[in-house]
Structure 1
Amino acid sequence: MYQGQSIQVTKLDGGIAELCFDNKTDSVNKFDLRTVTELSEAAKVLAADSSLTGLLVSSGKDVFIVGADITEFGKNFQQSEEEIAKWALEANQIFNAIEDLPVPSVAAINGIALGGGLEMALAVDYRVMSDKAQIGLPETKLGIIPGFGGTVRLPRLIGADNAIEWIAGGEQQKAAAALKVHAVDGVVAGDKLKAAAIKLLKAAQAGQFDWKARREQKKSKLNLDNLSGMMVFSTAKGFIAGKAGKNYPAPVAAVSAIEKAASKGRDEALKIEAAAFAKLAKTTVSDALIALFLNDQLLKKKAKAAGKIARPVKHAAVLGAGIMGGGIAYQSASRGTPIIMKDIAEKSLELGMGEANKLLSTQVDRKKLTPAKAGEILGTIRPTLNYGDFGGVDIVVEAVVENPKIKKSVLAEVEGIVKEGTIIASNTSSISIDELATALKKPENFLGMHFFNPVHKMPLVEVIYGEKTSKEAIATVVAYATAMGKSAVVVKNCPGFLVNRILSPYFGGWAALMRDGADFQKIDKVMETFGWPMGPAYLQDVVGIDTGHHVGDVLAEGYPDRMAKTFRTAMDVMYEAKRFGQKNGIGFYKYSTDPKGKPKKEVAADSYELLKAVQPEGQKDFSDEEIVDRLMLPMIIETVRCLDEGIVETVQEADMGLILGIGFPPFRGGALKYADTVGLATIIEKCAKYAHLGKIYEPTESMKKLAAEGKTYYTK
């Protein structure tokens, strides 16, 4: 009946037509412009066929439809709000045309159906789902709301409360959850899906199911009286606003759109959705979150490419137990790669195994693992005091004390024991990879694999290559990090690597602000309002003042022109007073333990007395804008320097390193995305204002050039 590149329509027995999504130019089905156009053409063909008795919507891929092609539709967001709303409404007319066909319709959801994929399935009368499939509306995670009728059809199908939970949360739902709320009408094994869908369609044709009533339910106003509606929507908005926070407007906007459209029929409700969708599409938050999604796709694409040239890692080892070693061992074992954990002290091995056991027990408590499975995973971590089985490992991660002499000794020792071709990686946070490589006979098999603490929570791994590291070694570590469930960013060796190097000028700006009389608690509050999970003083306490002090010294030596200490800092005061932060209960703040055993932050009034020594002119108040600028400008400039020097390959990877490694506010998209949002010309003006404070506020030539050309980092 119809043959397109994305959609084919075939007539089956008994007048049933099968509309099959089967993209001939891609491995998945997605809603790009071509697919939407073909759906419109196919709908016209179907409407014109007087012999049509029913419609089956299916997929020729392993997935149903993964959603809209954000790379393509994202460009539409450059248009005005009115134009975006008009485009969304026009697209919806196509879904309406499918929904309004004068015959019953059933979707056979064989795999992932997200965003526009689920909205396509919602446009038909019934849905049958494979027991392995997952569905959902994840748009709020991109800073927008569903735009193809999701906020209209889903609440009318599963009730406002369930729909709010699905749409505001943006999570993928498994088949059992979808069936429970009646988002789908049946769940079957994948190999029985098409037969089950056709059986349901024939039952509807025969009058066993009232498909017209089901359709009317989706097209009418929401079945909710005024009082119930008021309770549902006001409660939901309060809860969701508290959970999402003021920096993420989409979840609350989704609830508001559902509420506003509740008393309207489909066509009017879709206009409300389109207007809300368009308004969010023009926010800096959606711009940043869409960029973040695309950046993540780039990391996944690079990881996939690395997997093709990586050496297989079937067995790993970690040198050095304790909290870090135990965390690495847990992460490897829990993702299916057995690991040996070696230390020279029995007590350290007990600590490392205790850490792994604690993390597995937490998974059991949360019902993510059965006790038997947790025990099985723990059994794939083998603690040892000797190198007995190291001849069989494919990769060794060295995680001993952060001391170059000790590391070199351990690295040379293990190289003499492992088999030919074993990759050796150091989990150093500050020591030069090239310096450590001098201890090895085969530096081509050596590189850095920097995990962030705590290992099980922090998603980033910096993969740091030295002058002699082979591409195969880099690819192997990227593939191993990916297998561990981490996101790898490949970085060229330099002092501080990527994340700590960029973080250092941020702390440099903070140190100067403290010297000039700022209140550390106010700075923390302002930066947390900006979006950071914690302000700089609190972050130093969590990392450890001694650790931060050491890294600061390394970076001061590496970049003396802009990171050398020229005055005694607030950090120095705390370090000299042996106030190391959470690890010993006192830093800028003091810490007690809450009933759950977690550190609880409290004000330490004597911090102000100590800090008087480094605030020669006493305390002074600073505006929120100045606090943000004096901390963020040095970070932006250092990120650009890393890009200019080839420390990191792309703008996208630089920003992802900061988001995944130190919690840069995701809704701001990273340092370079934030610079684009503020405007490079404005950034350079702000730098001029603080030029007297030193080189960390000096924009690079590439920044000036880009600003002069009116370009941005994401469009250059």
Structure 2
Amino acid sequence: MNSIRYEQDAQGIVTLTFDAPGAPVNTMTPQWQADLTSCVERLYAEKDGVRGVILASAKDTFFAGADLKAVLELKPDAGAAVFADIEITKKQFRRLEQLGRPVVAMLAGTALGGGWELALAAHQRIAVDSPKIQFGLPEVTLGLLPGASGVTKTVRLLGLLESMPYLVEGKTLRPAEAHKLGLVGELVASADQLRAAAIKWIEANPNAVQPWDVKGHKIPGGTPSSPKVAQALAIGPSMLRQKTRGLYPAPEAILACMVEGAQVDFDTALRIESRWLATLVASPVTHALIGVFFDRNLVKSGASRPKDVPKWKASKVGILGAGMMGAGIAYSNAMRGVACVLKDVSIERAEQGKSYTKKLSDKRVARGIMAADKQAATLALITPTAAASDLRGCDLIIEAVFEQRALKATVTQEAEPMLAPGGFFASNTSTLPITGLATASARPDKFIGLHFFSPVDKMELVEIIKGRQTDAETLARAYDYVLQIGKTPIVVNDSRGFYTSRTFGTFVMEGCAMLEEGIPATVIENAALAAGMPVGPLAVLDETSLSLSVHVMAQTAADLAAEGKRFDKRPGEALVEMMVKEFKRPGRAAGGGFYDYPEGEKKRLWPGLKERFEKPGVAWDIAELRDRILYRQAVETLRCLADGVLESGHDANIGSIFGIGFPAWTGGAWRFIEAQGLDAFCARARELAAAHGERFTPPVLPAGWAPGQKVG
């Protein structure tokens, strides 16, 4: 056997150690499945001499689950083969738990997906009590279903309603949470205590059986016909459809599998589970979501980082500006143990910025996920100040002041001399070209853009922008820093708006262009939701501020005028300017924009939109509106790739999903193009251009073009 070691001690306890050769984690490869079958056969053949079985791992994690690369290779007609394959795996799990000997899973590391399903095949799970370890069934996030008995067993352990967050939403658990739910039977302080605890349990439970094999076992909380459960299930599907918009098949398949399986015996439920999995594995949405998983791993492994620069860590970071962005950046540093100096024009404003971290960490303390002493240590890492001299010795200084070129130049020149030898300077700008901002720097080669997204504590993406003179060491260190504070970096080349702001602008302005055409605002917002955007373009523009968009237009016009170029407003921009200047509705923060925000009530569209912009009888088609919303962003992504602003498809996909909310069901803006084929995508884009304007016209690309190849 290549992937499992079978070892029996003098007391008759067999340890099956999972150890895939040459791989960082264990996965359910065909070799592993064959080895598991051999191990189970041997256990049955030598059963008389076996007192118990321990499941262990030689890796840092317990088990990673399915081989996702193999899933990506499945064709649409693969359902029958997948059903047969998963049934073989489940048969071995079932034989293991019905061996008549106690089976214990020793969990020294994370067990997710198929790995957790393997752990559920044991009668007892003993885990190291570490906050770094995760358990659970997050298959739904990959468009899949926990098909190796995960749905069936979780329902029978927790009940239909209690198991929904862990199955339909894919919520994961720390060991202490799993223990509280009864999914883990015992916690130990360290890995070297696992084996003794496992042997002790085996000796105390020689006749262990699974709960569902006990005669008379009932599902906690009741079956689907129980009044409380039936009431919840009556509205469950509609609530789920409201969240998924019908774009994500997996959550609905999981719910159906849960309900159907709860009405039959255990073994029949397992077969139902296999059938539902077979309907999902070759789905385009599943492949797209798995593609996002691999793209994220590529990014986190440093795919866009210069390879020949040593790894680096920041010890002290300076942050200029303690407003919403600066305070969020300080929080992200402190929560990852990075000391930072938070500077503003007064100590009062700097202290107010620090209080943001206290406010967020207070919530964590109240929920019991952060100890009071840990909170105190975290807050101590943030030094509020009004003095530039306190920045002395920073490895990195991040400017996060207002989007005004002159102001950014002033704070750059004041703070940059405080950098430690070899330190670098970053601007948190969302639109202003980095090369232009770097003219205020004494070391433009050590100047870079770090575009954080609001709210920083929740948004994981950071867009790293290379100026024309930014050197490889600065880029590599910026990349390392973003990973150090737990964020996900993408790398782009310099241009106005970079990638995310430039493409986000096309989304919101397309919504405004539709409003200019007289299409009802409610139709526009719902078309965006139907396409899979998290929020409508008018609502999101209210949040980001219409006045900021007007300011950006003015700054762009001034910059272009200085270059001897003319600024022409795009469709939708004149409407935004009218909303701010004529109707005095600059956005939510200032009281209202496209929406009204009555105190204590839900927001609602401003009635003035209907009076001033909607045109009775204007024709619209929801499918066409959906295409306009998606294609406008995808065409801009293609232009960014052709222009060399983006250099890779993975940065385009991750940036579009996590930066601008492009629907995850597509796998990202570049994968959305790839899925149709470049020629077919461009043909549809040209149709939209003919109907709605040249903004939809795709770039002219040479034959054989691929991301990373700059055109022109």
Same fold, judged at TM 0.5 (above): yes
The offset of 1:229, in angstroms, is: 4.5
Match for 2:606: what amino acid? A
In the alignment, which residue of structure 2 is the partner of 1:144?
144
In the alignment, which residue of structure 2 is the partner of 1:261?
261
Match for 2:378: what amino acid? I
1:407-431 Cα deviation digits (max 9, x unpaired)? 2232233223323211100011111
In the alignment, which residue of structure 1 is the partner of 2:62?
64
The offset of 1:636, in angstroms, is: 0.8
Cα pair distance change 1:510/1:184, threshold 3 Å: closer
Q: Is the 8 A contact 1:7 1:19 kept in 2?
A: yes
Q: Is 1:108 equivalent to 2:106 in the alignment?
A: yes
Q: Is the 8 A contact 2:635 2:685 kept in 1?
A: no
Q: Is the 8 A contact 1:157 1:218 kept in 2?
A: no
Cα pair distance change 1:335/1:215, threshold 3 Å: same
| 1:224-303 mapped onto 2 (5 Å cutoff) | 229=226, 231-232=228-229, 235-236=232-233, 238-239=235-236, 242=239, 244-247=243-246, 248-302=248-302
Q: Is the 8 A contact 1:111 1:130 kept in 2?
A: yes
Cα pair distance change 1:366/1:637, threshold 3 Å: same
- 1-side partners of 2:700 and 2:619: how far apart? 33
| 1:155-554 mapped onto 2 (5 Å cutoff) | 155-189=155-189, 190-205=191-206, 210-212=207-209, 214=211, 216-217=213-214, 229=226, 231-232=228-229, 235-236=232-233, 238-239=235-236, 242=239, 244-247=243-246, 248-302=248-302, 309-346=310-347, 348-552=349-553
The offset of 1:443, in angstroms, is: 1.6
In the alignment, which residue of structure 1 is the partner of 2:46?
49
In the alignment, which residue of structure 2 is the partner of 1:631?
629
Equivalent position SS for 1:690: helix
Cα pair distance change 1:241/1:48, threshold 3 Å: farther
The offset of 1:301, in angstroms, is: 1.3
Deviates most, 20-29 or 567-576: 567-576
Equivalent position SS for 1:416: helix
Match for 1:31: what amino acid? M
Cα pair distance change 1:552/1:241, threshold 3 Å: farther
Cα pair distance change 1:233/1:151, threshold 3 Å: farther
- 2-side partners of 1:602 and 1:397: how far apart? 37
In the alignment, which residue of structure 2 is the partner of 1:581?
587
Deviates most, 690-699 or 114-123: 690-699
Match for 2:417: what amino acid? G
The offset of 1:397, in angstroms, is: 0.2
Q: Is the 8 A contact 1:562 1:696 kept in 2?
A: no
- 2-side partners of 1:493 and 1:401: how far apart? 19
The offset of 1:93, in angstroms, is: 2.6
Q: Is the 8 A contact 1:664 1:670 kept in 2?
A: yes
In the alignment, which residue of structure 2 is the partner of 1:604?
606
Equivalent position SS for 1:572: helix
Equivalent position SS for 2:28: coil
**How many aligned positions are there?**
694
Q: Is the 8 A contact 2:490 2:655 kept in 1?
A: yes
Q: Is the 8 A contact 2:305 2:475 kept in 1?
A: no
Deviates most, 617-626 or 475-484: 617-626
1:31-65 Cα deviation digits (max 9, x unpaired)? 22322222223323333335541322111222211
In the alignment, which residue of structure 2 is the partner of 1:696?
695
| 1:84-95 mapped onto 2 (5 Å cutoff) | 84-95=82-93
1:331-370 Cα deviation digits (max 9, x unpaired)? 2222211211222345543542344443334444444434
In the alignment, which residue of structure 2 is the partner of 1:96?
94
Q: Is the 8 A contact 2:245 2:532 kept in 1?
A: no
Cα pair distance change 1:215/1:202, threshold 3 Å: farther
Match for 2:693: what amino acid? G
| 1:10 corresponds to which of 2, 7, 18 | 7
In the alignment, which residue of structure 1 is the partner of 2:21?
24
The offset of 1:703, in angstroms, is: 9.0
- 2-side partners of 1:703 and 1:695: how far apart? 20
- 2-side partners of 1:523 and 1:513: how far apart? 7
Equivalent position SS for 1:106: strand
| Ranges in structure 2 where 5+ consecutive residues have no aligned partner | none
Q: Is the 8 A contact 1:555 1:563 kept in 2?
A: no
| 1:590 corresponds to which of 562, 586, 596 | 596
| Ranges in structure 1 where 5+ consecutive residues have no aligned partner | none
Q: Is the 8 A contact 1:153 1:218 kept in 2?
A: no
The offset of 1:167, in angstroms, is: 2.0
Q: Is the 8 A contact 2:673 2:681 kept in 1?
A: yes
Cα pair distance change 1:456/1:383, threshold 3 Å: same
Match for 1:274: what amino acid? S
- Aligned-pair RMSD on alpha carbons? 3.3
The offset of 1:275, in angstroms, is: 0.8
Q: Is the 8 A contact 1:138 1:169 kept in 2?
A: yes
The offset of 1:66, in angstroms, is: 2.1
Match for 1:43: what amino acid? V
Match for 1:111: what amino acid? G
Match for 2:99: what amino acid? L
1:499-553 Cα deviation digits (max 9, x unpaired)? 0112233344334433322223320121123222221112111111121233345
Q: Is the 8 A contact 2:492 2:498 kept in 1?
A: yes
Q: Is the 8 A contact 2:510 2:572 kept in 1?
A: no
The offset of 1:166, in angstroms, is: 2.6
- 2-side partners of 1:483 and 1:378: how far apart? 18
Q: Is the 8 A contact 1:451 1:462 kept in 2?
A: yes
Q: Is the 8 A contact 2:237 2:252 kept in 1?
A: yes
The offset of 1:677, in angstroms, is: 4.5
